[in-house]
A and B are shown apart, each in its own frame.
Chain A
Amino acid sequence: MLEQETRVHPYMANSTDVARRRMLDVIGISDVTELFEQIPSDHLSSEEIQLEPALRSEIALRRHLMTLLGQNDTCEENLSFLGAGCWQHHVPAICDEVWARSEFLTSVWGTPSSDLGRNQAWFEFASQLGELLRMDFVGLPVYSWGAAAGHAFRMAARLTGRNRVLAPRAMDPERLAVIRTYCGSPELKGHIELVGVNHDPATGRYDMGDLRSKLTDETAAVYLETPSYLGIVETNAAEIASLARAHGAETIVGVDPISLGVLAAPGDYGTDIAVGTTQPLGVHMNCGGGVGGFIATRDEEKYAKQYPTLQVSICDTVVPGERGFGLTLFAQSSYGSREFGNDWTGNSVYLWAIANAAYMSLMGPAGFFDVGSTILRLSHYAATKIAELSGVRVDWDSGFFKEFVVNFDGTDKTVNEINEALRQRRIFGGKDLSESHVELGQSALFCVTEIHSADDIDHLVDTLKEVTGR
């Protein structure tokens, strides 16, 4: 048995001899091991666990963590142009103040009355996202954009009784890997077949001919992204939705909500199910740990009944005029119906939904217009300037948002070599596409957001000129 001086711990009030004695006495036993009587002795580990020595003081713990984490080099100390599913946007200070509040941080479930504030914040997340999307039914967030798309494909398959989904061939490989998982295996139930649709090499947009040839009366859904992984804004979204509808297929649209101050709302061009990311809305990158996803539809029963998520509805209380918030359609979730529910739900990224809500309130309509306009101009400025470099091409030099593809074939250098040279000069270059998108040659996906200045971009361009040796 451990000595008291090594047992008392700041995280555990009862780690004193007095408390332990009192509990033993009340229970009527002399040793804690008696409590493990249900466990056969041959289940108990014969060897004690061996861990590194405890760092019981916060002083020692902090020093250790700072030493470890200090090895990281951040996007604040460097100039970063990485995006590709996780983006460096400005996170307003009050977003961090709000989510980090102990009440939100530690809440578990509560009742509609005792955790009113959190439930209201969730409703405000859904309500504000619904305004950006112009869609009336919004679920609580899911793990990521890929998870949201995967669930949406499954919703569409259940709605249509079909099992084929058309999706962009040039999709984010990271997101596609998640979607493939959600689509299952042909040997088992509920498998969804993914059919890749080409992009038009001239524009980067969906190849409408290829889409038409693959869209049939067996298609459950057409999935498009705008902006796409490669940054391209899809100008034919309304036509694609109308083609899908003509074949009885659902239209699923993936969007980055930070674009919706300047880009048309998915609800305005025939989208049936909108999905996308929540990370740009006031959540730090967190090494990819900031990602989150959403699912939204029109407020129609047939769609609502397919949601796998939990969702909060505004409602009234027993006191006239008082408002509250409760869960709607809980019974169709896995909590309510186990394997008979829609897919599954569980802990997700609900705390980030509160950061998202605060972010959208801060932004308002003018903030979203401004951030969208700023990103459009800065990213196009960067593309224009980079394209002026010798040996460097930007084939899709307009009609993109935030991200754009830069080709280095004419420099006789690989993206890897260029990025390595940039890194020596404290710049994180764009995501290397040369392995995931071989047809694009030595290309990289550059991301420019509102955090960048003209000086930042000029510095990138100057440094690219230096490292490409042109």
Chain B
Amino acid sequence: MSQPLKNYHSAVWDEPVVMELGAPGRRGILFPDTEERISDTVGEAQDLLAEEIRRQSPIGLPEMSEPEVLRHYLHLSQQTLGMMGISLFGTCTMKYNPRINEVMTTLPHISEIHPHQNTATLQGVLEVIHRLDLVLRELSGMDRFVFQAGGGADASYLHAVVTRAYFESRGELDQRTEVITTAQAHPCNSATAAAAGFSVITLPLEEDGYPSTDALRATVSDRTASLMVNNPDDMGIYNPHIKEWVDVIHEAGGLCFYDHANFNGVMSRIRAAELGFDACMFMLHKTFGGPKAGGGPAVGAYGCIAELERFLPGPLVVPDGDTFRLDEGGPDSGGRVREFWGNVPLIVKSYSWSRAMGAAGIREAADLSMLANNYMEKKLLEIPGITKSLPHLMAHRMEMTRYSLVELTNETGVTAVDVQNRMVDFGVDAFWLSHEPWIVPEPFTPEAGEMWSLEDIDYWIDVLAHVCSEAREQPELVKTAPHNQAIHQINDNYLDDPDRWATTWRAYQRKQKA
């Protein structure tokens, strides 16, 4: 071990559920008194509603003063590790979320504007959207981006929707009913294709770590609507035959969608359009410096080639001389996937990030994420009990590598989830395990990215090495972890039991009594 581990402990506030706080009669907010001319004109509020639709039942909310509410939620924030410690959460590209962008987007110039304002009053935000569109076009080779999708999965859905519209316009939709993906593509690719009405064919991995081109050929037909894949995958493996794949799909008349969730390592080196893809998706809340926010507000920026533009949902931002206007989208549009233009503050943050980085900075970030991952790999594989996914593949992995703790589990009974639970005792945020299906047993997937310092990365590795030693010496200590957190391990064995689950305080109270 190269450095002593930190004597970390989470804040423990033993905080009640908000429903238990406060006292009768307290107020957290007041509204202006009704002015006389209002009451003179309209009378009592309740008389403005028919009796049968007035609220009769009590509103079972807590009654709290303003500082009580503030302190309660501050306590909760302090019991959230987030990126206060070190988070190398793979597939999510944890990077710095510049606080200047938070400051800029909480100004009324963004927070207090309405999407139905006259566009003459929205030129600033329209220009930012257009400018980010241009940045993403340059990075991808695509011809147009839209930002409506509320996350990566929503962008995947948008692709399925665009695909529907494309084949509908060609009169082929009743025939083009299949979407092809791989076992290592994100679950959202197959799920959104299915939700849009397509049948999903999932190609299994073969010897080289990706499905074979022969398997793809055997699957493709005149029923193929689209290919939806990531590259590299979450194991850090790049499919070198992807251009051929694109050709195979195109020859069959299908579209090709590049899920660029794992873009960080190839930024500035690979352009989706140059590989032949018809559409791609970037995650602004990950790759482009926006905060993860515990799961959104997010943006899956969806870009496509010119041929598909007319199938995009409106409103599209269109330059018009020195100004910008909104185009509501034509009759061929596949339909909107969410109201309005997307998570506008995040679009601004991502544009700002791209400007702060510039072309050289983006190249540097890609290089550093590749260097950091391979540096980590060298060191992690020195820890007994840790193996690499598909260890026979010798080439350097991309910006993340998937590992397995199965040897440690076989030796000690300590699982990857146990190790995850114990690492948080040292202020290290839980690592990512794996998406479904779990091809690698007892998986974990760190991704160092470009933000974390070598000291942070070394500390992360030291903590993992320490926990692996503990697994051998005191396995119970690891299995019963965490010990330094706000609470202990949850009892999760009845969470799917209808008689015991409770997603609300109402349900909880009822079931407690039963």
Contact = CB atoms under 8 A, between A and B. Distances in A.
B340 A344 contact: no
Interface string B73-93: 111111111111001010010
B124 A68 contact: yes
Interface in B40-59: 41-42, 45-46, 48-50, 52-59
B368 A14 contact: yes
B80 A116 contact: yes
Contacts of A38: 232, 237-238, 240, 395-398
A347 to B, nearest CB: 4
Contacts of B111: 284-286, 290
Contacts of B503: 123, 126, 130, 136-139, 299, 311-313, 328
A117 B361 contact: no
A361 interface: yes
Bin the interface of chain A by size. 35 or more
Interface in A369-414: 369-374, 376-378, 380-381, 384-385, 398-399
A117 B75 contact: yes
Contact of B118 (A292, A334, A419): A419
Interface string B456-481: 10000000000000000000000010
Contact of A127 (B42, B108, B195, B505): B505
B7 interface: no
Given A126-B504, A381-B38, A351 B296 contact: yes
A233 interface: yes
Nearest to A308: B195
A370 B30 contact: yes
B410 interface: no
A265 B58 CA distance: 10
A39 B139 CA distance: 17
Interface string A58-90: 100110111011111111111010101110100
A207 interface: no
Given A181-B334, A367-B28, A314 B508 contact: yes
Q: Quick one: which of B87, B100, B242, B492 has the most chain A CB within 10 A?
A: B492
A131 interface: yes
Given A185-B164, A233-B53, A235-B53, A106 B45 contact: no
Interface in B1-29: 10, 15, 17-19, 21-22, 26-29
B386 to A, nearest CB: 16
B164 A190 contact: no
B42 A113 contact: no
Contacts of A121: 73, 76
A112 B153 CA distance: 23
A43 B26 CA distance: 65
Given A117-B80, A344-B195, A366-B63, A174 B118 contact: no
A107 B292 contact: yes
Contact of A136 (B10, B26, B92, B507): B507
Interface stretch (B212-220, B249-257, B347-355): B347-355
A238 B53 CA distance: 9
Contacts of B84: 102-103, 106
B506 interface: yes
Nearest to B72: A361
Contact of A285 (B22, B114, B121, B395): B114
Given A14-B368, A71-B123, A103-B77, A51 B61 contact: no
Nearest to A420: B118
Contacts of A289: 297, 340-347
Contact of A110 (B80, B195, B496): B80
A58 to B, nearest CB: 5
Interface string B90-103: 00101111101010
Nearest to B273: A45
Contact of A113 (B18, B46, B275, B488): B488
B97 A105 contact: yes
A399 B41 contact: no
B268 A344 contact: no
A399 B503 CA distance: 34
B110 A69 contact: yes
A184 B398 CA distance: 37
A338 B82 contact: no
A304 B498 contact: yes
Contact of B436 (A105, A109, A314, A337): A337
Contacts of B268: 45, 48-49
A363 B29 CA distance: 6
Contacts of B270: 39, 43-45
A242 to B, nearest CB: 13
B29 to A, nearest CB: 5
A362 B66 contact: yes
A274 interface: no
Contacts of B308: none
B139 A114 contact: no
A9 B361 contact: yes
Contacts of A48: 268, 359
A323 interface: yes
Contact of A344 (B76, B192, B360, B361): B192
A114 B42 contact: no
A157 to B, nearest CB: 12
A361 B54 contact: no
Interface in A115-149: 115-118, 120-121, 123-124, 126-132, 134-140, 143-147
Given A71-B127, A85-B340, A370-B30, A343 B191 contact: yes
Interface stretch (A19-27, A194-202, A214-222): A19-27
Nearest to B420: A111
Given A118-B294, A288-B115, A175 B339 contact: yes
Interface centre among A73, A114, A357, A360 (most CB of B within 10 A): A114
B135 interface: yes
Contacts of B488: 113, 317-319, 322, 324
A420 B53 CA distance: 37
B80 A347 contact: no
A193 interface: no
A376 B45 contact: yes
Most A-side CB within 10 Å, residue of B66, B80, B242, B374: B80
A117 B78 contact: yes
Contacts of B375: 22-23, 26-27
A13 B488 CA distance: 34
B22 A351 contact: no
A156 interface: no
B191 A106 contact: no
B115 A74 contact: no
Contact of B396 (A35, A326, A329, A357): A35
A128 B17 CA distance: 11
Interface string B412-441: 000000001100100001101001110000
Nearest to B177: A188
Nearest to A107: B82
B318 interface: no
B80 A40 contact: no
A85 B266 CA distance: 39
B80 A103 contact: yes
B280 interface: no
B55 A262 contact: yes
B363 A108 contact: no
A348 B151 contact: yes
B203 interface: no
B424 A111 contact: yes
B370 A114 contact: no
B38 A72 contact: no
Contact of A84 (B116, B173, B429): B116
Given A62-B100, A117-B77, A376-B48, 6 more contacts: A73-B117, A107-B82, A261-B59, A263-B55, A286-B110, A314-B502
Closest 9 CB pairs of A and B: A54-B358, A188-B197, A288-B340, A346-B153, A334-B191, A117-B79, A71-B124, A181-B335, A13-B453
12 contacts: A9-B361, A26-B379, A117-B75, A189-B198, A287-B114, A287-B341, A301-B498, A334-B153, A363-B28, A365-B61, A370-B31, A454-B38
